[in-house]
Structure 1
Amino acid sequence: MSKPYNNTKATLALAKASFRSIMRSPSAVIFTLAFPLIFILVFGFLGNGGIKVKLAIAPGSDVQNPIIKALEQNTVVKLITDKEPAEIKAELEKGHIDALIEVKKNEGGQPAYLANVQYTSASIDKGSILKSVLNNLLYNLNSKDIKPSIAELHESTVQGRVYRTIDFILPGQLGFSLLSTGVFGTAFVFFGLRQNLVIKRFFATPVKRSSIVFGECLARIGFALLGAIFIILIGHFFFKFTLINGAATFLNMLLLSVIGLIVFMGFGFVVSGIAKSESTIPPISNIITLPQFLLSGTFFSIDAFPGWLQPISRALPLTYLNDAMRSVAFEGAGLWDVKHQILILIIWGIGIYAVAVKVFKWE
């Protein structure tokens, strides 16, 4: 009596063969490892160029005073006015805000205003820049006034973690790597299998269709995880990328990578289903990947975009993967703490796989 066909072994065999094929593919290695690594090296060596100093205004401050008015005209300082005290304190400790200023009228007479400034030790360079700006500003204000002085400055420092450029760039590059692997890799592989009638030949064997799909998925997840491990370790050991909780943070980032890749592979299935020829795969894939690469906070914060563009950026799945990665890595968030971002990714996954089922072709 013959044994029943073992589809689990077939799935693993297909995954192994596909993994070997991926490792031999120059394009897969370039998009998954080379491009992200190049960007990480460039931004890691450049450091913190083009700095804007984020200065929060304490709630209850007199915002009509000449100090705040002068700061509004300064191109180096970005004023933040929409945060609560507890949120400001947390952002100072994390280094997301560089300083806090509170300006009050001096009820006792001269000077007319008292300005209290708290700096974060996480942004020493930015603190020095802001001190220079404030001292120059107060000198100009006081020298123009006929009274002894118009304002007085009091300074202190809040301890916080150093937020480096690499802490922002690396999660974005990891997300870009996963997006490229999921879309381009899946689209080319399944289109090629269909065009070369490989999948059709599988119909003559006991191999299930699901085994073919799962085998390819396992291969891509394995390859992407190797890429993620490589990128994270390079960033951590060479450029001091923050893994706030060590191994736990590292594992959470890998789990997020798996979730993101599964979602992005759905886009690849859609592309392979609607592409009429191999030459149409790159332009269709670029329509999906390029907007996310540019608009999902890969290189700079979404807050820097115009107001009308931000809702579009916040609708893209890569945005939520990048946000979750940064929260886990630098702020020490657990997977439950980024459940909102994960939920949005799952919703995107359900929607895109529903489309993939409709357009996918086996031959």
Structure 2
Amino acid sequence: MDNSTKSYSNLKATLAMAKASFRSILRSPSAVVFSLAFPLIFILVFGFIGGGGIKIDVGVDKASDLTNPIFMALKNVSVIHLIEDQSEEEMNSNLSKGRLDAIINIQKNAAMPPFTVNVQYTKASLSNGNILKSVLNNILYKVNTRSGNAPPPVAELKETTVEGRTYKTIDFILPGQLGFSLLSSGVFGTAFVFLSLRLTLVIKRFFATPVKRYSIVLGEAIARIAFALLGALFIILIGHFAFGFTLIHGFVTVINMLILSAIGLIVFMGFGFTVSGIAKNESTIPPIANIITLPQFLLSGTFFSISAFPSWLQPISRALPLTYLNDGMRKIAFEGAGLMDIKHQLLILFIWGIGIYALAVKVFKWE
């Protein structure tokens, strides 16, 4: 059959465009910096700072009984840092500022139960407070079992358990940096590429060929997803082997994180398409894109837990898509959750995806 009579293959065209786009991404300094360099720098910094695990600072009330088995057991827990040299006023001030994670007062009773454990937590350090609750639960269970005594009034701590794993700084930071990378790539990368293709009339030239419009979008999406997944894999492996980033189920956990990364990137690319449709020229992309990305970088648990925010700000944080991507990543990596275990996070991302792509279709311009 003559070559001129062969049917045109949009699949080949899509793959060819994906290959060309992937090469252009690799040659783009900004793509490499935002997708790999920045996240890797943060991971290295926080990894070296917190590579040995977190520390929970617990102030010991001056009136505490320091000879009881509960206090002795606490002293042997490596993540617990007991502070005994501060006055009551200093401890209360530091607790309110988040410099202490809790204040503990253990009293010996003349009657049953033999001990009463009073713990005061702070909203500025809820995550560390929850870890302390688990540690105390474990200690109380062992003390009660060993002594044969009835459970003391604080037995409600038994609702949580110690998993036997140290929750390291890298376990919180790395998923947040993956989200940072995916959001940057999805918004900035997509916006700049499609605006450039439109302004340079490249897309208009494509219309003179048999290439379908969906091939243009799909080719770019495939290239960006492939680059993002390679970057995510690199970051995960560096975090795991260099700093002990927790991967509960090993290879399966990595695969689940990469699948979630692809889903997140697809959603974030919708923001990029929207920005490219709104922007008039390349100089207007950064301010528009920053309006979308900066609040999410700061409020979505990228660098620290949203539980540290004021109560009025937390609902805003919980409305942002990056919050659910970061939360899903942490559940998969540290808690061993599967994709079916993070259905709530996936549902929110899916809702955001529908909404942002509906807007992108309205504002996106081909010419």
TM-score bracket, normalised by the shorter chain, equals 0.7 to 0.9
Q: Distance in 1 between matches of 2:113 and 2:328?
A: 49
User: How many percent of aligned residue pairs carry the same amino acid?
Assistant: 74
Q: Is the 8 A contact 1:72 1:79 kept in 2?
A: no
Distance 2:107 2:244 in 1: 40
Per-residue deviation, 1:53: 4.2
Contact 1:252 1:328 in 2 (8 A): yes
Structural mapping, 1:132-171, within 5 Å: 160-171=164-175
Q: Which residue pairs with 2:356 in the alignment?
A: 352
- Indicate if the aligned counterparts of 2:321 and 2:352 stay in contact, CA closer than 8 A: yes
Q: Is the 8 A contact 2:54 2:169 kept in 1?
A: no
Q: What secondary structure sits across from 2:245 in the alignment?
A: coil
Question: How many residues end up aligned between the 2 structures?
Answer: 298
Following superposition, the deviation at residue 106 of structure 1 comes to 3.4
The secondary structure found in structure 2 opposite 1:115 is strand
Do the aligned partners of 1:260 and 1:345 also contact (CA within 8 Å) in 2? yes
For residue 256 of structure 2, what is the aligned residue in structure 1?
A: 252
Consecutive unaligned residues in structure 1, runs of 5 or more:
56-69, 81-100, 118-122, 132-156
- Answer yes or no: is the 8 Å Cα contact 1:182–1:262 preserved in 2: yes
Q: Aligned partner of 2:13: which letter?
A: A
C-alpha contact (below 8 Å) 2:53/2:166 kept by paired residues: no
Alpha-carbon deviations, 1:153-198, whole Å to 9, x = none?
xxxx956201000000000000000000000000000000000111
Alignment partner of 2:312: what SS?
A: coil
Is the partner of 1:338 in helix, strand or coil? helix
Asked if structure 2 preserves the Cα contact closer than 8 Å seen for 1:40 and 1:169, the reply is: yes
> Who is 1:7 aligned against?
10
In 2, are the aligned partners of 1:187 and 1:271 still within 8 Å (CA)? yes
CA distance in 2, matches of 1:51, 1:187: 42
Scaled by the length of structure 1, what TM-score is found? 0.75
Matches within 5 A, 1:98-113: 106=109, 108=111
Cα RMSD (Å): 3.2
**Structure 1 residue 110: Cα displacement:** 11
- Hey, what does 1:147 align to over in structure 2? none
Report the Cα offset of residue 302 of structure 1: 0.2
Q: Is 1:38–2:48 an aligned residue pair?
A: no
Task: Say yes or no: does 1:341 pair with 2:349.
Answer: no
In 2, the alpha carbon distance for the partners of 1:194 and 1:260 equals 25
In the TM superposition, residue 115 of structure 1 has moved relative to its aligned partner by 3.1
> How far apart in 2 are the matches of 1:351 and 1:184?
19
Once residues 112 and 240 of structure 2 are traced to their aligned partners in structure 1, the CA distance between those partners, rounded to angstroms, is 53
Matched to 1:234, the amino acid is: I
CA distance in 1, matches of 2:162, 2:188: 46
- The residue type equivalent to 1:22 in the other structure is I
How many angstroms apart in 1 are the aligned matches of 2:254 and 2:112?
56
| TM-score normalized by the length of structure 2 | 0.74
Match for 1:342: what amino acid? L
Query: Does the 8 Å CA contact 2:54/2:167 hold for their aligned counterparts?
Result: no
Contact 2:253 2:332 (8 Å CA) reproduced: yes
CA distance in 1, matches of 2:35, 2:94: 41
Change (3 A) 1:106 1:231: same
8 A Cα contact 2:176 2:301, kept in partner: yes
Indicate which of 218, 236, 239 corresponds to 2:222.
218
Q: Does 1:16 align with 2:19?
A: yes
Q: Does the 8 Å contact 1:302/1:310 carry over to 2?
A: yes
Query: What is the aligned partner in structure 1 of residue 74 from structure 2?
Result: none
